[in-house]
Amino acid sequence: MRYLLSSISLLIMVSCVSYPKKNNFVKSEINTTQVYNPYFSNVTKDYVYKANLEFYKKKFSGIVIIKKISDQEHRLVFTTEMGNKIFDFSFYKNTFKVNHILEDMNKKIILNTLQRDFTSLLKEYNYSRANFLKQNVKIQETKVLDKTHFYFYDSTTLTKIVRVDNGKEKVVYYFSNSKNSIAQQILIEHKNIKLKIHLKGI
Amino acid sequence: MNKIVYFIFFIALGTVATAQTKMSHQEAEVLKSKVKNTADKTQSISSNFTQYKHLDFLSNDIESTGKLYFKAPNTVKWEYVKPFAYSVLFKGETLYINNEGDKSNVDIGSNKLFKELNTLIAASIKGDMFNTDYFAITYFKKDKNSEVHFAPKDPKLSDFIKVFHITFNSNGDVLELKMVEPSNDYTQIIFSNREINKVIPDAVFAQ
């Protein structure tokens, strides 16, 4: 019995080990307070991506269009290749507005997932709660919609955002082929459900 | 003062230049029979197209180009070439999709919506959508061309497309197709190098 109890408590302790500890992040003394995502920061630019979605065994594709409307506002529209709108959202600060969504997709669970995924993708400025280092990668911890996120910077380039829950990775955003603050390739990968969103700049 | 006169003059000129006047009933009937006649004789169409997706909040329209192939009665291949490779092919009871080499298909035999979509696409390519059961139709003259507005009556369709604008040349051939959404955002498709009844190799419709 005692053995069982101690192994349970050990299990709990292991699962409670923080994400930075588990990944051997070293606390950094650099005092940066701002977390910055440069990828959708230019109001004069139309960000257009070919999108491929994998949800379990199903595949969908279309076009994702993102526009920074004003200082803290973004618009995100998903259409088919032929131009039909699937959904159209506005993000202002931490609020989210559905301008349009196909009836079949108008479900709370879908909307919540999309709101979280895209708020994390689009959020330009945030406050850093802690700074870490791992080899040459600078890591900043912050909160988006009350969930813990880690931003990874390879020198000054944002390469990855990780949403963490109970010390575990829930969603990972990979940015690659970045040039002039535009990421040509973005992958949003969910770890707890089989959902992947690939975005390729066009 | 002069400036104001010029200003008013230019506004008036602008209005005249883009003015579209409503057709008389007789003119509309002539156009309708011309288009139907051309459509009935059309066994195949191959054409280039340029698509402009207009969203009000964007700085520029999103441009894509590709090729369209049609074979009577209902086989349609809509193929985007730039800036991505993507095609849909309606053939028999199946919709074949080729997304950058990744192929999939959808059985449309049992799907009423897809069947209607197929019929609609085939009809819109030929411009022959003169069905007053499905559309509220208005006819306009626009320079030498005609523009016809087809507003869907079925809410299932009008939720997506408020109105189709089809521009015909004086022969009754389709020059341009515009699909306006309820939000007034639109997709505009301009056809070029349109060839009617020229043999299209079978390979085009092979998936």
Complete domains list, chain A, with CATH: 22-201 (2.50.20)
φ, ψ for residue A111, nearest 5 deg: -60, -45
Is residue B6 situated within a structural domain?
Answer: no
B164, B30 Cβ separation under 8 angstroms: no
Range of the domain at B55: 21-205
Is residue B4 situated within a structural domain?
Answer: no
Residues in chain B within 8 Å Cβ distance of A70:
none
From chain B residues 156-175, the ones with a CB under 8 A of any chain A CB are: 159-160
Q: What's the pLDDT tens digit per position in B112-152? A: 777 887 888 888 888 899 999 999 999 999 989 999 999 99
pLDDT at A33: 86
pLDDT at B2: 58
The model carries a pTM of 0.87
Is residue B192 situated within a structural domain?
Answer: yes
How many domains are there within chain B?
1
- Best mutation site among A64, A65, A81, A87 for testing chain B: the one with the most B CBs within 10 Å? A81
Say whether A75 and B57 touch across the interface (CB within 8 A): yes
Is residue B13 situated within a structural domain?
Answer: no
Taking every pair of Cα atoms in chain B, the longest distance, rounded to a whole number of angstroms, is: 68
Helix (H, G, I), strand (E, B) or coil at A191: coil
What's the rounded Cα separation, in Å, for the pair A12 and A17?
A: 9
SS3 sequence of B69-127: EEECCCEEEEEEEECCCEEEEEECCEEEEEECCEEEEEECCCCHHHHHHHHHHHHHHHC
Is residue B30 situated within a structural domain?
Answer: yes
Selected residue with higher pLDDT from A3 and B38: B38
How does residue B63 score in pLDDT terms, banded at 50, 70 and 90?
A: very high
Residues B15-22 have a mean pLDDT of: 66
What's the rounded Cα separation, in Å, for the pair A80 and A46?
A: 17
Is residue B3 situated within a structural domain?
Answer: no
pLDDT at A1: 59
Lowest mean pLDDT among A12-16, A99-103, B28-32, B143-147: A12-16
Q: What's the pLDDT tens digit per position in A118-166? A: 999 999 999 999 999 999 899 999 999 999 999 999 988 999 999 999 9
Say whether A46 and B86 touch across the interface (CB within 8 A): no
Chain B interface includes A100 (CB < 8 A): yes
pLDDT at B14: 47
What's the rounded Cα separation, in Å, for the pair A173 and A188?
A: 5
What's the rounded Cα separation, in Å, for the pair B188 and B173?
A: 16
pLDDT at B18: 54
Residues B75-86 have a mean pLDDT of: 95
The pLDDT > 70 percentage for chain B reads 91
ipTM of the prediction: 0.85
Lowest mean pLDDT among A4-13, A136-145, B67-76: A4-13
Burial class (CB in 10 A: 0-12, 13-18, 19+), B122: buried
pLDDT at B15: 46
From chain B residues 33-52, the ones with a CB under 8 A of any chain A CB are: 51
How does residue B160 score in pLDDT terms, banded at 50, 70 and 90?
A: confident
pLDDT at B112: 78
Q: What's the pLDDT tens digit per position in A159-172? A: 999 999 999 999 99
- Best mutation site among A52, A77, A85, A101 for testing chain B: the one with the most B CBs within 10 Å? A85
Is residue B14 situated within a structural domain?
Answer: no
Distance from CA of A41 to the nearest CA of B (A): 14
Is residue B26 situated within a structural domain?
Answer: yes
The CATH number for B59's domain is: 2.50.20.10
A54, A105 Cβ separation under 8 angstroms: no
What's the rounded Cα separation, in Å, for the pair B159 and B152?
A: 9
Q: What's the pLDDT tens digit per position in A40-66? A: 999 999 999 999 999 888 888 999 999
Residue B138 in tokens: 């208005």
